[in-house]
Amino acid sequence: MSIASKPSKSAPKAKIAYVCSECGADHNKWQGQCAECAAWNTLSEFVIESAAAGKAAASAGAARRGGWAGKVDPPKVTALKDVTHSEESRVSTGIGELDRVLGGGLVQGAVVLVGGDPGIGKSTLLLQAVAKMAATLPALYVTGEESLSQVAGRGSRLGLPLDGVNALAETSVEKILEQAVATQPRLIVADSIQTLWTESLAAAPGSVSQVRESAARLVRYAKETGTAVFLVGHVTKEGGIAGPRVLEHMVDAVLYFEGESGSRFRVLRAFKNRFGAVNELGVFAMGDKGLREVPNPSAIFLSGSASPQPGSCVMVTREGTRPLLVEVQALVDSSPLSNPRRVAVGMEGNRLAMLLAVLHRHGGIGVGDQDVFVNVVGGIRVQETAADLPVLLAVLSSLRDQPLAEQVIAFGEVGLSGEIRPVPNGEDRLKEAATHGFKRAIVPKGNAPRSGKVGSMEVIAVERLSEALEAI
Ligand code: TYD
Ligand code: MG
């Protein structure tokens, strides 16, 4: 159902598709609901190619979209084993945590989308990275949001060496690429992709079609020239980067900047990475000298309260390659509503509902008439199932208004039949907790050492939810 599969042979006419801003799916005609992701009112008109741009892009575009426009020589097939390729060459960004998230440095010709809320520090991070890399990778910093003097002012306030960094205050993709061809940077930063627009489309800058097409131009340039490109993307209130998730398909890596507005810690997470592992975390602290790396972040996501509080449980999560101590907080309160609220911040809401059902069915503890709020401290998002057990312990602790014993950690997946399942890298997690002086750990049996101890920390192995509830 490719839209380009029926090329008009006569006078070229602009081709229109209706693109969902949630999932990026194309539709031939407008409809109220997206047929792919079932979101409502997300389709907007998108001129795929204007009459002028159509011809030039036809051959490349048709191949990309799976259709075949016009009578062009068929492409030549190559045996994959005969394709010459070089090891991807990586350049260190000069920021260890950023390198880590990128999978060991920036790959030449890679296009990296950096998303996050406004004000989280995307521009700061990229300016710092660009300045550090300038000696090896001459850069073009394109700013569509700030003036050149703002960018330069920030650079000098942060004490960054700005030799080798060219800046351009421009939003037209054509002009940006013209400058790129003239100055031959090895790295381009486009801050932000929402401000860019291309002359070949009539739509307004910031619209789905402009964002998509502008990004596509930059991606094409990156692939043709081997220039690395960072695209900065603001996040829509639904959480999708730049509205169209289709950007995520076009780029090589999607990094997401997270953090609580009140906290100075920022987490950079790889959501997609063609050149490295996903879910790798980089941790930064925002200070008056910009973003500082936190190479040893394990205990920064604890609330730091002196004595244990009801409704709080410390877990050891292992996001990426490092164990992190993270505090999960729960508040359980009798609800005035007939349909009590379940609110999860930093974890998945459906998972919380499921865990509460398991707690009722297999732990005999019902919260059907209670509002349940769960929050992961520090604005970090925990996606792994190892959070199940700590979430339930925190809920229970809040329900009973009794703190867990001091210096306890927990982790473990909770199954639908009330079993506690082991999680990967249990030993690492336990060691990390022991290093930080925790005294007891409640963990799945499969993760517990035979001796029942790690260092001086006592490890309590549990197989069923009921055992875990007894253990506290
Ligand atoms: P910025 O990088 O402009 O955010 P983004 O590009 O993601 O919108 O960061 C702006 C925020 O960072 C702003 O609220 C101020 C704060 N900040 C500091 O606290 N210290 C600094 O040295 C800098 C440069 C910014
Ligand atoms: Mg910015």
The predicted pLDDT at position 5 comes to 45
Name the residue of 124, 261, 266 to mutate for ligand 1: max ligand atoms within 8 A of Cβ: 124
Q: 434, 416 in Cβ contact below 8 A? A: no
**397 within some domain:** yes
Asked if residue 457 and residue 353 are part of one domain, the reply reads yes
Q: What is the CATH number of the domain that holds 455?
A: 3.30.230.10
Q: Which residues line ligand 1 (CB under 6 A)?
A: 116, 118-124, 154, 158, 286, 288-290
Asked if residue 95 and residue 171 are part of one domain, the reply reads yes
- The helix/strand/coil state of 424 is coil
Q: Which ligand is nearest to the CA of 194?
A: 2
Angle subtended at Cα 259 by Cα 257 and Cα 260, rounded to the nearest 5 degrees: 150
Q: Which ligand is nearest to the CA of 154?
A: 1
The predicted pLDDT at position 6 comes to 47
| Cα gap 124→268, rounded to integer Å | 13
**191 within some domain:** yes
Binding residues for ATP: 116-123
Domain span at 355 = 300-471
Q: Of 295, 311, 334, which residue sits at a domain end?
A: 295
Q: If you search the block for the tokens 């997206």, which residue do you land on? A: 34
**119 within some domain:** yes
Asked if residue 29 and residue 137 are part of one domain, the reply reads no
Asked if residue 339 and residue 211 are part of one domain, the reply reads no
Closest to 366 measured CA to CA, from 328, 387, 395: 395
Calculate the alpha carbon distances from 48 to 18, 52, 81 in Å: 9, 12, 35
Binding residues: 116-123
Count other C-beta atoms under 10 Å from residue 357's C-beta: 14
Asked if residue 157 and residue 110 are part of one domain, the reply reads yes
**Beta strands 15-20 and 43-49: pairing type?**
antiparallel
From the CA of 116, give the closest atom in ligand 1.
Answer: 7
From the CA of 117, give the closest atom in ligand 1.
Answer: 7
Q: Which residues pair with 330 in a beta bridge?
A: 374
Asked if residue 304 and residue 245 are part of one domain, the reply reads no
**69 within some domain:** no
Asked if residue 341 and residue 208 are part of one domain, the reply reads no
**79 within some domain:** no
Cα 222 to averaged position of ligand 1 atoms, centre (Å)? 27
**Beta strands 139-143 and 187-191: pairing type?**
parallel
**8 within some domain:** no
Cα 190 to averaged position of ligand 2 atoms, centre (Å)? 10
Q: 258, 286 in Cβ contact below 8 A? A: no
Cα 124 to averaged position of ligand 1 atoms, centre (Å)? 6
**9 within some domain:** no
Nearest CA to ligand 1 atom 23: 290
Helix axis angle, 208-225 relative to 173-183, nearest 10°? Answer: 10
Q: Which ligand is nearest to the CA of 195?
A: 2
Q: Which ligand is nearest to the CA of 122?
A: 1
Domain count, the chain: 3
Q: Considering the entire predicted model, what is its pTM?
A: 0.74
The predicted pLDDT at position 240 comes to 55
Count other C-beta atoms under 10 Å from residue 311's C-beta: 25
Q: What is the CATH number of the domain that holds 149?
A: 3.40.50.300
Cα 18 to averaged position of ligand 2 atoms, centre (Å)? 29
| Cα gap 410→390, rounded to integer Å | 5
The predicted pLDDT at position 160 comes to 92
Helix axis angle, 388-400 relative to 349-363, nearest 10°? Answer: 70
Q: 97, 284 in Cβ contact below 8 A? A: yes
**228 within some domain:** yes
Asked if residue 340 and residue 205 are part of one domain, the reply reads no
Asked if residue 432 and residue 327 are part of one domain, the reply reads yes
From the CA of 124, give the closest atom in ligand 1.
Answer: 2
Asked if residue 145 and residue 254 are part of one domain, the reply reads yes
Calculate the alpha carbon distances from 20 to 1, 61, 255, 427, 447 in Å: 16, 20, 22, 44, 44
The predicted pLDDT at position 63 comes to 46
| Cα gap 230→268, rounded to integer Å | 14
Residues with Cβ within 8 Å of 240's Cβ and at least 6 positions away in sequence, in order, are 21, 22
Q: What is the pLDDT along the chain (472 residues), one digit of tens a residue?
A: 444 444 444 455 667 778 777 777 788 888 999 888 888 888 877 766 554 544 444 444 444 444 445 556 788 888 888 887 777 788 999 999 999 999 999 999 999 999 888 888 999 999 999 999 988 889 999 999 999 999 999 999 999 998 888 999 999 999 999 999 999 999 999 998 989 999 988 888 877 888 889 999 999 999 999 999 999 988 755 555 545 467 888 999 999 888 876 778 888 988 899 998 887 889 999 998 899 998 777 777 777 777 888 999 999 998 777 888 999 999 999 999 999 999 999 899 999 999 999 999 999 999 999 999 999 987 788 889 999 999 999 999 999 999 998 889 999 999 999 999 999 999 989 998 998 889 999 999 999 998 989 989 999 999 999 999 988 8
Asked if residue 221 and residue 92 are part of one domain, the reply reads yes
Q: 191, 232 in Cβ contact below 8 A? A: yes
Name the residue of 286, 288, 292, 293 to mutate for ligand 1: max ligand atoms within 8 A of Cβ: 286
Cα 245 to averaged position of ligand 1 atoms, centre (Å)? 25
The predicted pLDDT at position 392 comes to 96
Asked if residue 330 and residue 424 are part of one domain, the reply reads yes
Count other C-beta atoms under 10 Å from residue 204's C-beta: 9
Closest to 327 measured CA to CA, from 409, 412, 444, 423: 409
Nearest CA to ligand 1 atom 22: 290
- The helix/strand/coil state of 466 is helix
Cα 196 to averaged position of ligand 2 atoms, centre (Å)? 14
| Cα gap 403→405, rounded to integer Å | 6
What is the layout of strands, in order, in the sheet containing 457-462? Answer: 342-345, 370-376, 322-334, 312-319, 408-410, 440-444, 457-462, 453-454
